[in-house]
Structures are given as C-alpha cells and as structure tokens.
Structure 1
Amino acid sequence: MRHICALLLLASLCGLPQVGIAATAPRTDLPHFEQRGAATQLIVDGKPFLVLGGEVKNSSTSNLVHFSRKWPLLVRDNLNTILVPVAWETIEPVEGQFDFSNVDGLIKGARDHDLRLVFLWFGTWKNTFSSYVPSWVKRDTKRFPRMQTADGRGTERISALSTTARDADARAFAQLMRHLKAVDGARQTVLMVQVENEVGVIPESRDHAPDAEAAFAGPVPVELMTYLTAHRATLNPELRAAWEANGGRASGSWTEVFGDEGMTDSLFMSWSYARYIDHVAAAGKAEYALPMFTNAALIRPNYEPGQYNSGGPLPFAMDLWKAGAPALDFLAPDIYFDNYAYWASQYRRPDNVLFVPEARGGAIGAANALYTFGALKGFGFSPFGIDERGVQLAGDPSVGLGTGGDGDPVIGALYGQLEQLAPLVLEKQAEGKISTVIMEGSAQRSGRGRIGDYMVNMARANGPDGNVDPDSRVAAMFLQTGPDDFIVLGAGDMQVSFTTDRPGPPIVGIESIDEQILKDGTMSAGRRLNGDENGQGQSLRLSSSDAAENKVYRVRLYRYR
C-alpha cells in the first residue's frame, strides 16, 4: 500500500483516479497558513500538513524521460513532497511563446505517484547567477543590463534595478501561475512556489553599475525607514545595532543610516532584490495565490559580504525583506553547516514560519529534521539532491549531500516513521507538547531539553560497531501524550535519562518502556523493555536502526523520594 494511504492526515488523497492535465475549475480552499495553538501550520485540503520533502538536483527534471525512473525512488524513501525546478528558459524559449509541457509532465508524474510538488522558479537568478534565463534575455545586455564590478566589468547577473528584466520575469511567472490554476487548481498537486533561488552578489558585496551607485548614494527609501521605525523593538539585533550605532537616523543615504561597512552593502542589495522579487511574486499571486517564499544561502563562519551571497534574506536582513517583499509568505534558510540549530532558529520568528528547502541528508539530515519539526515546530524539511548520488565538495565536509547512493535510505526510514506519526506531530505542535533534543559535533558532549515537567538528558551511545562516534549528530523527539507519558523517536545512537526541577518528589524513575511498531498508520505493542534494556529503570536507549525497523517507544515516567 502506498504510504500516503496509511496516513489519516492524508487520507483524502487515496483512491483518486489518474487524470490527464486538463483545465478544471479551481477550488477556493488553497493551501495556506493558519495559527493552530502554539504552531503556525500549512493547511492542505483543509487539514494541517507536514512536508516530508526532498529537493531534486537542478537539472534532474529538465528531461521527463530521464526523471521518470526517479519517481519510484522518491516513493521508496517515503517522501510526500518533491521540490522541483521550473526554469524560465524552459517555459518561454521564445519571447511571448510559452511551453508548459515540462510543467505538465511533472504534475502528472507526481499525481501518478501520490506525491505533492513545490515548484522552484528559476527566473532571473539561481544561486546568484542568471543562468536559467532564456537566451533572448542573456544575449540582450542593453535591454537586460547586468550587475557590474567596481572596475566596470559585467557579471553573469542581471541587474536587480532593471525594471525591464523585472517586468519580463513577472510576465513569465504570471503565465506559469495562470497555467497552474487552470490545470491544477482543483487537484492542488503543487502546494507552494519558491520565487528565485539563493539570490546575492559574489565576489563583491554589491552592484557597482552607474544606476546602482546612484541609488546607493541616494536616500534610503522612505517606506523602508517607516517600517524600521515602526518595528524598532522587534528588529533583528544585528540590524538594530548597526542602525543605532549610526544615530538611529530616520533618513539619509545607506552609509549615513547603517554605516560604512560591508553589511550596509548587503542591506542595500537585500532591499533591491526584495523589491524586484516582490513584484514578480505579486504578479504570480494575482493569477493563483499559492503560498510563496524565497530562500537564503547562509554565511560561512568568518566570511564577509561578497564572500557569500550578499543581499539574500539572511537573518540580519530579514526585516528589510519583510518590508520590501510583502507578497512573500515566508523566508527560508538553506542549511548545510554544522550549527544547524542556530541557523534554523533564526528563521522561526513570530512573523516567519520555518521551512528548510535545502539541507544535508543522511544521518545528519535525519537529526536535523527531528529538530525542525520538534524544537522549532517547523512545517517542512527537504534534503537536497534526494534523487541522485550524494556528493561532497572537495575539502569542505560541511556541505556533504546525500548518503553516497541513489536516493537517501536514512531519510527514507525516518520519513517512514514521520509519515505515520504526522497527525500526532501536528497535534502536539499545536498543543506545545513536542520537543527535540539535539547534539551537534564533538564539542557538544551532552544534550539537554525539557518536555512537560521533566528534563531530558542525552548522551551518545555505542553504535552498531560498538564504538561511540564523538562527531555524530543525534536527536530525539518527544511527543507528550499524558502528564507522564511520551512517544519517543530518535535519529542516531544515544542514551536518554530523565530528571526534574519542578516542585514535588525529586527523583524520576522509568515506570515502563514499550516498543511501538508503526504499520499502516497505527502503533502496535512490541517488547516491554526492562532490566538490562533500560539501565535498570534509569535510561532509554535509542538506536540508529530503530527507524528502519519502524520502531518508536512509549515511555512512562514517575517521581519518588
């Protein structure tokens, strides 16, 4: 049975007939966000939806025949949502002439395999460059001017100040969204759309073309200063510090308001990109108002603007993006670095829901996924390169992707658990009765967190080879089902004990640990673990093999003196 049919949450998808891609009457209940108790959740088909996602490699879907063999792989790995690129050059190879055959093929493939899609609009920019624009845009640098370096050289980036390029992108994107409404408005296979991809400037910190120089020397736009003034108390601390260090001015040039530092260049580019992307997103939403977002390539440690994508929606610039791109529903981080908990937490704000569209896969990704859903109440997680052989950039272990083979069986095993627990996860997110404890790298020798009246204390345990890996990333998610009852699942090999700092008896004991085997959306009791298996009532042991065995644990605690 397909895994989606096992989910109560997704039962509305089961048994639907396969249909061709034809115009149908759109529904009015589009995917959208709702505040449900302590969490903001994505609502699909009228119910909260947990995105168990994966992003395919950039060129994977450019040929439907090539990609056809990948669908079963994605089903095997228990994904419910696939993030796929849609390139401007693919849908508008000749100006004003549109071809949506690739788009329609992706939608049909997803439907045939009971999967949902998130489209990634590779329009004007993808990873800073304008490499996915049509050839008629690339060749006409007079009509579609490029960003320039300080010495006047052009770059492979269309100017963020070009209204001609902006309007051409917006027209193409609007046509895409109009087409989606016609062919998918009733079925809603496509849940969301990412507008552009990892924008920013490299290797310099901003555009130095004449019009950009004039805008940088001119006044900071009034609408931005009005927003910053109105939101002063809640601004990102780094942004507010830079502003107030220069007198907290209500007007002035970019350097007068924010100082003569590289960060100011990045803020200028952030505003330029935000206004451009807002125009594109708004044009698309006018046709079909799916949730929309854009993503950030993050800063490597000790890097300065220009060494990273200067101008993207980084944490210190999120307020500029909120002011400049209100058509976007949220901003998302692409996280490949080791300090995942830090970066992910920067994007969980009262005005921003958490979705991670690109991340590492494998065992590291599994732990990060649990942290996203549990500690930060995120609604989605998506390792990159889910469809191909994992890669690792030479000399940079921080960006290892996948697990070394087609697909990602480690993520697949975790998703196999989460797909069946999704209704409970979403319920506990809303109730505020979910938590995840994570350990990242050898510098963290223990983990600690809270769930209900109890403190969770975590340590790495011996792995299948009998040794402790001090660099392993491990995480455990706790779903509180009663005052002293918890469903627990983990990623990695670890040992968990419990204490309390709340009034009452001071010692915490383990009343019982019962294996729970997940199958077809239900839990059936396995072994009662006692004695040697629970440290004589002192600890819970989680293993990296649990997910593959579809095994979670029901833990009951009690207190005594």
Structure 2
Amino acid sequence: MKIFLSILCLSWLFTASLVAQSQIPHWEQQGTATQLIINNEPKLLLAGELGNSSASSPQDIERIFPKLQRMGLNTVLVPAYWDLIEPQEGKFNFSLIDKAIEQARKNELKIIFLWFGAWKNSMSCYAPMWFKNNYKKYPRTRTETGKPLEIASPFSENVFQADSKAFVKLMQHIAQIDSTEHTVIMIQVENEIGMLENARDYSEEANRLFNSKLPDKLTTYLQKNKKQLHPWLYDKWQQAGGKIKGTWQEVFGKDIYTDEIFMAWYYASYVERMIQCGRKVYKLPMYVNAAMNSRGRKPGEYPAAGPLAHLIDIWHCAAPSIDLLAPDLYDKGFTDWTAQYKLHNNPLFIPEIRLEANDGVRAFYVFGEHDAIGFSPFSIEDTPESSNYPLIQSYRKLKELMPIITRYQGKGVMKGLLFDQNNKERILTWGETNLICRHFFTLPWDARATDGSIWPEGGGIIIRMSEDEYLIAGSGIVVEFKSSDEIDNKVEKKQLGEDGFVATGGTQNVKEKWNGGSRIGIGSVDEVNINADGTLQYIRRLNGDQDHQGRHARIGVDEFSILHVRLYTYK
C-alpha cells in the first residue's frame, strides 16, 4: 500500500510539474504569426513602460499600478535595477521586485522586467558603486584615442560574471515566488545596448579580436543563409568581395559599419550567455531592445551595434536564444520602422514608443498589419487619466477585440490601417472585393478637415471574416467597398460638399460610361461589442446619415468603435 501511495504521489508530482511547465509563458506559431501564450491562451500585450525611476521606491509602485489598471493595461514593463538589487557585492535585496509583483497581482497586471544591468541606453549607469569603482577589475570600453567611457566592456569576463551573477539571482527569485502564478511573463535583457562616440571598442582585447579571423560560427551562418540575409548585410558583404575567410575588415570592408558588425557580434554573444544562464533557473521568454539608427546619424552617433534591423543576422547567429529584437520608437516614420522589425524570423513587439495621443490608433495598426505581440508607450504613468484619452479608448476596444484578433492572426485575413495628413488612402483587395480605406477627414463633414487643423492620425484593423462579412475597428477611418468590375470601369469620383452631396462646381455633369459587371453594396453596418468568447454583441444599426445612405462605413476621429459590415452583390 505504501509503495502504491508513493508511486501515486510521484505520479501526481510529475503531472503537476508538467502542468506548471505548460503554463509558463511561451511562444506558439499560428500561420505566419507568432503568439505569446499566457495561462494557455494567446494574449496581446496592452502595455506601458514605466519611466526609468518610477519603480525605484515602493511608494511610487503602490501609487502607479492602480492607475494602470484603471487605464485598461494588462501588462506593465518595470525596470529591475542592478544597483538597488545588489548595492553591496554578493548581498541582494529584492524588495522592489516583490512590491512590483504584489501590486501587479492586486491590479490584474502582468509584468515584463527590464534588466538594467551592465548597460542601459549604452551606458553602465545602473551598475552598483562597487562595480563602478573597481574599473581595473571591471574595465570600460575605450575610444580610438584611448579615452575610457562609462560603458562596461563586453570583452571582460569579470564584467560578465558580475552581471550574470546578479541576473541569475533575479531569475531564481522570480522562479521562487512566481513560478505558479506567472505574473512575470517576459524579461528584457539589458537596455538599448550600443557603443557611443565610436562604432566599436578600441581596448587592447577588442583590437586583438578585431584583427583576428571571423568566428567559424559566423562564416558557416553566412554560407548557409546567403539567400536569406538582410539585404544591407548581404550587399555590404558582396561589395567587399564576398569572402568567407579573413579578418572582419577583409570580409566586410574597411569602414565604421564593419566596426559596428564586429561590435554587434560581441554584444550579442554576451547577451546569449546571459540568457543561457538565466534560463537554467527559469525558462521565461527573453528579448532585447534597440535604440534606432535614425535622423541620418552614423554608428557611434547612435548606439552602434545594438539589435538593429540591419544587424539582425549578426544578432541571430551570435545569440540564437533571443526570442525577438524589438524597436524603441521616438522618431517619425512609424510604419517604416515597424515594417523593418516584422520579419519572417522576428515577431514584432514595441516595448517603447513616445507617449502621445496618436499611440491609440498606432496600437490598432500594428496588431492588424503586423500580428504584433504587444504595444507599450514609455513613461506610461504620465498618461492623462481621462476615459476619453485616445490610448485608454484604444486599449478598451483592443481588450474586447483580443479573442477575435488572436483567432485570425497569421491567416492572411487581417490588415492594419494608419493615416495622416500626407498618407490619406490605402486600397485593400481580397478576391474580387476592393476596400478603399481613407482618413476620416477626407470627408468634408468636419470643420477640422479643411480649417487648417493638423489631422490626428486615423487607424484601425480590418478583418475579413468571410467573403461578404468584415469587422472594422479603430478611429478616424472611412471604408468603401467596390467590386473589381467597378474598379475596371473607372467610375468618376465626385467631389462632395459638407452635406454629403456633390459640391457646387464639382464633377456632377461628367457622364459615366458603364461597361457592365457587378457592384458591391452594403447590406448592413452594425456597431457591436465583442464578448469574452469572441461572439458579437449588437449595439445599434448604423444606416442613413451614419453610413451615407449605404455608401461607406466610417468611424469618427474622436471615438473608437467596432463595426460589423455585411455586403451583397448586385447588377
């Protein structure tokens, strides 16, 4: 009997262990999309990142987290400060980590901890004083003139051992207090790694490695993945002669971009070792973030060698354990930047973006266009606490939409829209159905469209649920539906007045020539809510003035809505 009970207990423990392991946040593939699975369900991260110093006191954490819950976030990105965790070498204090997890649970939030370890925005400002003072044991990088920088050397084993020891202690602590509840869902390793002033380190060890042969691992990768390399890296390699063997300059050419490639290899190699150490104690998803190479700056003027899109192959080769490379976006050109990071081998997560009103529609865009994992404005605690603030409205609707979005991700039936004063229109085509999508202010019915006002961005998600059924969600968009026959007939577009009829002096006298074929009509436009199980809950029918007598579906710039549209065909 005792033997039977022992076997039963062992069996139960084994089963419980499997259940716990299965609930650890992890990745799954659905079509072309990568999904983050939390508590055995795919989740979109409606997130925000705290300001750099906003988690450095328990009082701030207790004050901020309830506000984030009221704003509708489901995830918060929280710094984990090495200098406060290990103020004395070998003595660890996790009270701030515990407080963040406690407050997250109270406010129904998940946490992504950001390891501010050896580097934060390139610099080693979050290293403890005992580390900073002992610069002989923990050396710094150097410029070409030999000047030491406040940037710890990735070539130093002592630097790595000190950094990784604290990181492992953090991971052990998280595993100890959170391995059953899974409040912590992901870890960012370091922060915006990169070299400043010069594109690479010029210390004695760095120079020795720079003048050595390329690592065999990298030459093998270049040969094996030649046809899939990032175009920038492939072109640079080929322009230098396409060699496989040689020093960094012999293979990639002699310029600062080769310096950057070299430095990226060793930064990535360092991070790979960090991740391997951390995952030995707790297997959470881990990623790295990048400061952008924007505004025409050269390597060293921006943080060179970080996990940038043009260096993705170097980072993937040196650090295959990294789950994704993530962009921090503070510059113009949002759609171009996001396209650089949504690649076949890199799912899109935006851990930082400048906090501003347009973030609401941008979140819709990345979830619809790029099957994004999450969206996270920086210094989120500074968001105005008003139910009408665009980001709060946006997250409220995205939370509703989550079961629908996650159902359709990666299946080729979902698109994102983002419009402004310069980019006003986009045409989507599915089969014989064409969707002419435009900014709401392309309609003349709002004075702000024509009075010189700067247009707020409009954007949203369109999901093709079936051949004649669409879900449209977002803010500030107008969608018309036309058959391919209508497009081929090139029906004259007429200028409308503010009443919705043809404007005086417009093109009303132009005679159309119809060559036959079918047209698409709008059968119904219903404003809906989404239930937790993904079913639609009817609110109201939008007809007459609300859909311009069946001509289009639209959502104004001051609201976020979800519309269910049914189409029909007639001749």
| Structure-1 residue corresponding to 2:477 | 494
Counterpart selection for 1:413 from 393, 396, 413: 393
Alignment of 1:363-512 (within 5 A): 363-388=357-382, 409-439=389-419, 441-451=420-430, 453-462=432-441, 466-468=447-449, 469=453, 471-491=455-475, 493-501=476-484, 505-512=517-524
The one-letter amino acid paired with 1:369 is A
1:291 to 285, 296, 308: 285
Q: Which is greater in Rg?
A: 2
Note the alpha carbon deviations across 1:340-367, whole angstroms, 9 max, x for none. 1221122222222211101133332122
Distance change (3 Å), C-alpha of 1:309 and 1:287: same
Q: Deviations over 1:49-84 (max 9, x none)?
A: 111111110100000112211122101111000000
Q: Which residue does the alignment assign to 1:106? A: 100
Q: Deviations over 1:503-524 (max 9, x none)?
A: 9954322111111145777643
For 1:517 and 1:421, the matched residues in 2 are separated by 8
Residue in structure 2 matched with residue 557 of structure 1 by the alignment: 567
Q: How does 1:234-313 map to 2 (within 5 A)?
A: 234-313=228-307
Specify whether residues 207 and 268 from structure 1 end up closer, same or farther in structure 2 by C-alpha distance, changes over 3 A only.
Answer: same
In 2, the alpha carbon distance for the partners of 1:180 and 1:453 equals: 53
Query: Helix, strand or coil for the counterpart of 1:186?
Result: coil
Judged with a 3 Å threshold, the aligned counterparts in structure 2 of structure 1 residues 405 and 46 are, in CA distance, closer, same or farther, namely closer
2:320 counterpart letter in structure 1: P
Paired with 1:189 and 1:46, the residues of 2 have a C-alpha distance of 14
Secondary structure at the aligned position of 2:381 is classed as coil
- Residue 163 of structure 1 corresponds to 157
- Structure 2 vs 1, CA of residues 180 and 453 (structure 1 numbering), >3 Å: closer, same or farther? farther
Question: AA paired with 1:332?
Answer: A
Asked whether the equivalents of residues 117 and 189 of structure 1 are also in contact (C-alpha less than 8 Å), the reply is yes
Q: Percent identity?
A: 36
Distance change in 2, residues 1:42/1:451 (3 Å): farther
| CA pair 374-220 structure 1, distance change in 2 beyond 3 A | same
Contact 1:437 1:448 survives alignment (8 Å): no
One-letter identity of the residue aligned with 2:436 = N
Q: 2:526 aligns with which of 509, 514, 522?
A: 514
Q: Structure 2: how far apart are the matches of 1:146 and 1:420? A: 49
Shift of 1:471: 4.8
Could you tell me how far apart the structure 1 residues matched to 2:52 and 2:378 are? 10
SS in 1 for 2:372: coil
Partner of 2:557: 544
The residue aligned with 1:344 is: 338
Conserved 8 A contact 1:278-1:327: yes
What do you get for the CA RMSD once the two structures are aligned?
2.3
- C-alpha contact (below 8 Å) 2:61/2:100 kept by paired residues: no
Change in 2 beyond 3 A, CA 1:494/1:26: closer
> Partner of 2:546 in structure 1?
533
* Aligned-partner SS, 1:125: strand
- 2:44 matches 1:45: no
Q: Give the letter for the 2:20 counterpart.
A: R
SS of corresponding position for 2:278: helix
The CA deviation at 1:457 is 1.8
Cα drift, residue 480 of structure 1:
2.3
Specify which structure has the bigger relative contact order, considering alpha-carbon pairs within 8 angstroms and separated by 6 or more residues.
Answer: 1
CA contact 1:167–1:280 (8 Å) conserved in 2: no
C-alpha separation in 2, matches of 1:357 and 1:498? 35
Cα deviation for residue 432 of structure 1 reads 3.0
109, 117, 124: which one pairs with 2:111?
117
Query: 1:47 and 1:348 mapped to 2: Cα distance?
Result: 22
Task: Note closer, same or farther for the CA distance 1:134–1:453 as it changes in structure 2 (3 Å cut).
Answer: farther
Give the distance between the partners of 1:340 and 1:277, measured in 2 at CA.
Answer: 27
Shifted more, 453-462 versus 174-183: the winner is 453-462
Deviation at residue 204 of structure 1 after TM alignment: 1.8
Instruction: State whether residues 360 and 394 of structure 2, in contact with CA within 8 Å, keep that contact through their aligned partners in structure 1.
Output: yes
Counting only pairs closer than 5 Å after superposition, residues 85-234 of structure 1 correspond to structure 2 as 85-234=79-228
Distance 2:564 2:270 in 1: 50
Separation in structure 2 between the aligned mates of residue 375 and residue 461 of structure 1, nearest angstrom:
19
Whether 1:524 and 2:508 are equivalent positions in the alignment is no
Alpha-carbon distance in 2 for matches of 1:476, 1:456:
13
Mapped partners of 1:210, 1:406: distance in 2: 55
**Number of aligned residue pairs:** 519
Q: In structure 1, list runs of 5 or more residues that go unmatched.
A: 1-23, 389-401
The one-letter amino acid paired with 1:511 is: G
8 A contact 2:400–2:529 mirrored in 1: no
Residue in 1 aligned with 2:20?
Answer: 27
Q: 1:545 to 1:330 in 2, by over 3 A?
A: same
What is the deviation of 1:176? 0.8
| Residue aligned with 2:409, SS | helix
- Note the residue ranges of structure 2 that are not aligned, 5 or more in a row: 1-16, 489-515
Which region of structure 1 is more displaced relative to structure 2, 189-198 or 249-258?
Answer: 249-258
Structure 2 residue 343 is the aligned partner of structure 1 residue 333:
no
CA 1:405–1:214 in structure 2 vs 1: closer, same or farther (change >3 Å)? Answer: farther
Separation in 2 of the partners of 1:431 and 1:529? 29
Query: What secondary structure, in the 3-state scheme, does the structure 2 residue paired with 1:195 have?
Result: strand
Q: Distance in 2 between matches of 1:308 and 1:405?
A: 34
Classify 1:95/1:291 alpha carbon distance in 2 versus 1 (closer, same or farther; 3 Å): same
Call closer, same or farther: CA 1:406–1:87 in 2, change over 3 Å: farther
What SS does the aligned partner of 1:41 have?
strand
- Report the residue type matching 1:411 in the other structure: L
